[in-house]
Structure formats: structure tokens, C-alpha cells
Amino acid sequence: MFGFLKRKKRELLSPVDGQVVDITEIPDEVFSQKMVGDGVAINPASGTFCAPIGGTVSKIFSTNHAFSIRNDKDLEVMVHIGLDTVALEGKGFERLVEEGAKVNAGDPVIEADLAYLSEHAKSTITPVIISESSDVKQIDKSLHIVKQGDVVMVAE
């Protein structure tokens, strides 16, 4: 009856092939305790990390280990490739787009050398986080093996 009052569902795509795990299983308190927002993590099986939503690349860290995309409305999503990867000072990462670029969901953003990361980083597990500033009341999560582009979260 009051369908116009229902919150719009927004799909977030997997940025990479891999196994989705619950955010609480990330071996890093900042992510597992949802200090920067809620989401999922992916154990990546490939090195091309793509936009989980369409929008503007709002941030790419100078070390290329993480990026955020903001859609045209009220959703911002961060992809943080690996744990403690900022210490690698950009080694093992190649930026494919620049900050401020408009991207579609599924467009490649960062290429990472998973073999290098596996050897030099704490973990390659990749948190995909909906920032706390996003207007989200509920997140439905899909915890399974995914291909890049599969739906991993639906935000309401």
C-alpha cells in the first residue's frame, strides 16, 4: 500500500573472485569490530579489483592498497586490499584509474600481485566496507564463493 515509503535496495558487487567471509572473521580489530563500517571480506582468488558500485572514485590511497567509491546518492564503499598492506608502500599494486574518475560497477580499479602480497603482507583478505556515513539501515550478506560481479551485499 505504501510502497513509496520502502527503502530502495542497492546491490553491491564483488570486486574480485574469491571466497566471501563474515566481517567478524577478519584478523584485524578495526574491520572485525566494524569500526569503519559494516560489510564482508573476500579471500581473493584473482588480482584485479573492480568497482563494487557505480559512482565516483572518492579516494585511492597513495599506496594503492585501498579505494572508495561514492554513488550519486548516499552510498560509499571502501575496498581495502589485504591487511597491513599500507606498509608495502605501493609495491605489488598498480592503479588503473585516478581519484575523481567516474566508474561503472565492475570497472577495474586496482591490479594487485597476489603472490607478492601473500609473501609480504599480513593477509590478502580484502574487506569490502559500506562506510558509516552511508544511509543504510540493513545489509543482507551473501557468504559463498563468488566471481567478480556477483552480488555480495544488498543495502537497504
Query: Cα 135 vs. chain centroid, distance in angstroms?
Result: 17
Residue 121 cell numbers, joined? 603482507
Pairwise CA distance, residues 13 & 100, whole Å = 20
Residue type, 63: T
* CATH code that applies to domain 20-155: 2.70.70.10
Is pLDDT at 155 greater than 90 in this prediction?
no
pLDDT digits (tens, 9 = 90+) for 5-45: 555 788 999 999 999 999 999 999 999 999 999 999 999 99
Residue 8: exposure state from Cβ atoms within 10 A (0-12, 13-18, ≥19): exposed
> pLDDT per residue over 75-131, tens digit each?
999 999 999 999 999 999 999 999 999 999 999 999 999 999 999 999 999 999 998
What pLDDT score does 4 carry? 52
pLDDT, residue 156, reads 84
Cell readout for 155 is 543495502
So what's the pLDDT on residue 121? 96
Cross-sheet strand order for the sheet of 48-50: 48-50, 108-112, 93-95
pLDDT at 1 (0 to 100):
45
Q: In 3D, which of 59, 69, 52 has the Cα closest to residue 10?
A: 52
80 is annotated as an active-site residue:
yes
- Would you state the cell numbers that stand for residue 97, as one nine-digit string? 584509474
pLDDT at residue 112, as a whole number: 98
For residue 3, pLDDT over 70 is answered with no
Percent of the chain at pLDDT exceeding 90: 79
Mean pLDDT, rounded, of the chain: 92
Active-site residue (options: 65, 80, 120, 144): 80
CB contact at 8 A, 51 and 60: no
Sequence spans of domains, the chain: 20-155
